[in-house]
Amino acid sequence: MMTQGIWPAVLGRFDWHALPFVRAWENPTASEIIGAGAALLVIIGAVVVVVLITRLGKWRYLWSEWLTSLDHKKIGIMYIVLAFVMLSRALIEAVLIRMQQAAAIDNAGFIAPDHFAQLFSTHGSIMIFFMAMPFLVGLINYVMPLQIGSRDVAFPLLNSISLWLTGGAAGLMMVSLVIGEFSTGGWSGYPPYTELAFSPGVGPDYWIWAVTLGSIGSTLTGINFAVTVYKMRCPGMYLMRMPLFVWTSLCTSILMIFAMPALTVATALLALDRYLGFHFFTNDLGGNMMNYANLFWLFGHPEVYILILPAFGVYSEVVSTFSTKQLYGYTSLVLATMAIALLSFTVWVHHFFTMGQNADINAVFGIATMTIGVPTGVKIYDWIWTMFRGQVRFTVPMLYSLAFMMTFVLGGFTGILLAFPPLDYLVHNTLFLVAHFHNMLIPGLLYGMLAGYHYWFPKAFGFRLNEKWGRISFACWVVGFYIAFMPLYVLGAAGVARRTQGMFDPIFRPWFYLAGVGALILVAALGALFVQLWVSIRERDANGVFAGDPWDGRGLEWSTSAPPPEYNYACIPRVHGRDPFFDAKRRDDPYAPPASYDAIELPKSSMTGPMIGVVGAATAFGLVWHMWWLTIIGVLAIIATVIARSFARHVHQIFPPDEVKRTERRWLRAVAEATPTSREVEMTSVNQGVAEVSS
């Protein structure tokens, strides 16, 4: 029916079997029903959101205040919302993988091999590109401009475009659940398996275009952040006075600028192979698939530091604040960060020690890999010394920091093992590796992002998160992690390959059961996080910190109201040291109003970002399904949008001095009325966001 007349030109290679419902109807196995259920969930979710917004009459508000906003704070929040949505999906997929492997010992299990392969591919791709990246980019977006005393990032419009490219790519991932199927080639998409000869379907194309859109967004973000840090610092904020989170943001941005292009090249060349019959990575006519592994990991290794460095920054802030002590070894932390960033470009071969290059090359890269342990170790010592004899408080962010330090060191040890080529030959591609990188990424990324979320949430929304549920969630994340992943070290050392849909040896069963229980505890952890958010919103009036400084903060970000006004600072601050706000509180009155206020100019909202993101995703969808008309229209529309935007003038809005004055007055009155809180009771509702200062 759809192969006749004009249908092929319109619908490309779409046919009814692309819909999981049809597949489940014709072949009602557990695996297909789960697929259809997931698709249904996406549709219901989308419908519920749309209905809810319509019922509340919030479309206009959403559009003009959020979706088109160029305010770095709102963009940051939207990134983090996206990260949480994608985290939920990827975590559910992880549980399904775990359940299948627990069930499928000498038994087919309940998920078909092809579906299983899609699960680990989406889980990995989403966790890296659409959970971790948006989370850290969102956090940097929110915090970094505040910390350097700026009113926005260097290129606010570009910021919105990056957000929407990332969002469009994440949308494409969601669409792949409902229309068609996803890649079965893992998060790294190695050819020749992902070439047309072996994967003729739409799966790898979804992967290619989602990842490409996301990586373009990340490159642009990196440029934006790097220029912001270089050019937008307030007077007195010399490089060596910047908060550590700004330093790690800068290094992460530099890694994005130079590493993401390698991914773009790898996916683009793979696309040329698949779409135009080129021979970069094919088996025949001179293709060289080893070059793909090389290009992919030229990006892939720096990528793990893109993920981990911002978390290091968060820990530096959190440990110092909740120990009421200056960060120990500031200079060494900065140098260690730079060393890690540079070294991360020199170790990529450790991901393919077994590919066949000679032992000398492997040795060089093995040694380079082990070297990274040194600056990382320096950091751990610095954090420990920061706590030493400090007034340490075990708040939720601090708990995450402590769990990180212990767990991350463990993962680091297994990393040193893997850096040793002969040993890597034994456990390459086993669950040992899976255990290792989760052991790095869960403490080194997820805990860090969650610590940052708890730490800066009061700044962003004006009230603290509930402590009790925070602790419950924390306990689940930590316990769940150990139970879910320690067994994988055992299994991997015993030789169980990763990405395996079924096993035969019953001796593995207890370990897989254990890991399955761990995964369920991790789901509980995420659930507790959502409960916490719900509870905190309900009791927000009791926990308000509008005055803006709930933790006796040290950096500039705590010196404005919570949430900060759109322009961040009524007057651009001037700093005199590394902990400007902390020192100002001890030296003089940091809340003294200025003699007068000036008008403030900020960028107006723009629909360019949403346009480019949505049209970009549609273009990619057209490419996936070979709907060439859609692709052509999409590309032309993007070019037209960019050109049209370059003709726009009057792109700024002005906040008149009176309005600024009114806003500031209201805040300063709240500061004056609040009772200063001592550190002992900062976790109770006594805390109104003004710190008691004893000096």
Is residue 121 close enough to count as binding ligand HEM by CB under 6 A? Answer: yes
Please choose which of Cu ion, another protein, ligand HEM, none residue 57 contacts, taking the beta carbon within 5 to 8 angstroms, the exact cut-off set by kind: none
Is residue 275 close enough to count as binding another protein by CB under 8 A? Answer: no
Provide, rounded to whole angstroms, the least separation between the CB of residue 158 and another protein: 8
Q: How far apart are CA 42 and CA 151, in angstroms?
A: 37
Strand stretches in 556-666, DSSP E: 600-603, 652-655
Is residue 356 close enough to count as binding another protein by CB under 8 A? Answer: yes
**x/- site string to another protein, residues 287 to 306, per CB under 8 A?**
xx-xx--xx--x--------
Is residue 194 close enough to count as binding ligand HEM by CB under 6 A? Answer: no
Residue among 382, 378, 139, 404 at smallest CA distance from 252: 139
Residue among 508, 522, 451 at smallest CA distance from 480: 522
Please choose which of Cu ion, another protein, ligand HEM, none residue 4 contacts, taking the beta carbon within 5 to 8 angstroms, the exact cut-off set by kind: none
Provide, rounded to whole angstroms, the least separation between the CB of residue 522 and ligand HEM: 5
Is residue 187 close enough to count as binding ligand HEM by CB under 6 A? Answer: yes
> Which position among 434, 440, 450, 545 is part of the footprint of ligand HEM (CB under 6 A)?
434
Per 3-state DSSP, what percentage of the chain is helix, strand, and coil (rounded to 5)?
A: 70, 0, 30
Q: Residues 277, 283, 285, CA angle at the centre, nearest 5°?
A: 60
Q: How far apart are CA 1 and CA 8, in angstroms?
A: 10
Is residue 358 close enough to count as binding another protein by CB under 8 A? Answer: yes
Residue number, 222 or 553, with CB nearest to another protein: 222
Contact 619, 634 (CB under 8 A): yes
Work out the widest C-alpha separation in the chain, in whole angstroms.
Answer: 83
Q: How far apart are CA 368 and CA 362, in angstroms?
A: 10
Q: How far apart are CA 78 and CA 421, in angstroms?
A: 42
Is residue 301 close enough to count as binding Cu ion by CB under 5 A? Answer: yes
Residue number, 301 or 325, with CB nearest to Cu ion: 301
> Which position among 47, 52, 56, 361 is part of the footprint of another protein (CB under 8 A)?
361
Residue number, 128 or 627, with CB nearest to ligand HEM: 128
> Which position among 231, 331, 592, 596 is part of the footprint of another protein (CB under 8 A)?
231
Residue number, 218 or 228, with CB nearest to ligand HEM: 218
Tokens, residue 593: 């109003």
Choose one: 281-289, 415-423, 470-478, 606-614; the region binding another protein (CB under 8 A): 281-289
Residue number, 81 or 268, with CB nearest to another protein: 268
Choose one: 121-129, 229-237, 240-248, 552-560; the region binding ligand HEM (CB under 6 A): 121-129
Q: Give every CB contact of residue 24 below 8 A, 6+ residues apart in sequence.
A: 32, 33, 35, 36
Q: What is the DSSP letter of 675?
A: P
Provide, rounded to whole angstroms, the least separation between the CB of residue 449 and Cu ion: 20
| Residue nearest to ligand HEM according to CB distances in the complex | 124
> Which position among 161, 208, 229, 441 is part of the footprint of ligand HEM (CB under 6 A)?
441
Is residue 442 close enough to count as binding another protein by CB under 8 A? Answer: no
Q: How far apart are CA 320 and CA 579, in angstroms?
A: 10
Is residue 120 close enough to count as binding ligand HEM by CB under 6 A? Answer: yes
Residue whose token pair is 């792949």: 176
Residue 368, CB-side half-sphere exposure with 13 Å CA sphere: 20
Tokens, residue 381: 């010592």
Cite the DSSP H helix spans in 277-358: 289-321, 330-343
Residue number, 87 or 211, with CB nearest to another protein: 211
**DSSP for 421-442?**
HHHHHHHTTBHHHHHHHHHHHI
Per-residue buried b or exposed e for 637-657, using 16+ beta carbons within 10 Å of the residue's own CB = bbeebeeebeeeeeeeeebee
Is residue 450 close enough to count as binding ligand HEM by CB under 6 A? Answer: no
Provide, rounded to whole angstroms, the least separation between the CB of residue 217 and another protein: 13
Amino acid identity, position 388: F
Residue number, 294 or 688, with CB nearest to Cu ion: 294
Q: What sign does the CA torsion over 163, 166, 171, 174 have?
A: negative
Determine whether 679 is exposed, middle or buried from the number of CB atoms within 10 Å of its CB (0-12, 13-18, 19+).
middle
* Total length of the chain: 695
Provide, rounded to whole angstroms, the least separation between the CB of residue 445 and ligand HEM: 5
Q: How far apart are CA 395 and CA 470, in angstroms?
A: 9
Determine whether 122 is exposed, middle or buried from the number of CB atoms within 10 Å of its CB (0-12, 13-18, 19+).
buried
Q: What are phi and psi of 655, to 5 degrees?
A: -95, 110
Is residue 436 close enough to count as binding Cu ion by CB under 5 A? Answer: no
- Count interface residues toward ligand HEM (CB under 6 A): 26
Contact 111, 59 (CB under 8 A): no
Please choose which of Cu ion, another protein, ligand HEM, none residue 55 contacts, taking the beta carbon within 5 to 8 angstroms, the exact cut-off set by kind: none
Provide, rounded to whole angstroms, the least separation between the CB of residue 92 and ligand HEM: 10
Provide, rounded to whole angstroms, the least separation between the CB of residue 279 and another protein: 5
Please choose which of ligand HEM, Cu ion, another protein, none residue 301 contacts, taking the beta carbon within 5 to 8 angstroms, the exact cut-off set by kind: Cu ion
Please choose which of another protein, ligand HEM, Cu ion, none residue 127 contacts, taking the beta carbon within 5 to 8 angstroms, the exact cut-off set by kind: ligand HEM
> Which position among 33, 99, 269, 602 is part of the footprint of another protein (CB under 8 A)?
269
Binding site residues, Cu ion, CB under 5 A = 301
Binding site residues, another protein, CB under 8 A = 154-155, 219-220, 222-224, 226-227, 230-232, 254, 257-258, 260-262, 264-265, 268-269, 272-273, 276-280, 285-288, 290-291, 294-295, 298, 345-346, 348-349, 355-358, 361, 643, 646-647, 649
Binding site residues, ligand HEM, CB under 6 A = 91, 94, 97-98, 120-121, 123-124, 127-128, 132, 186-188, 434, 438, 441-442, 445-446, 484, 498-500, 519, 522
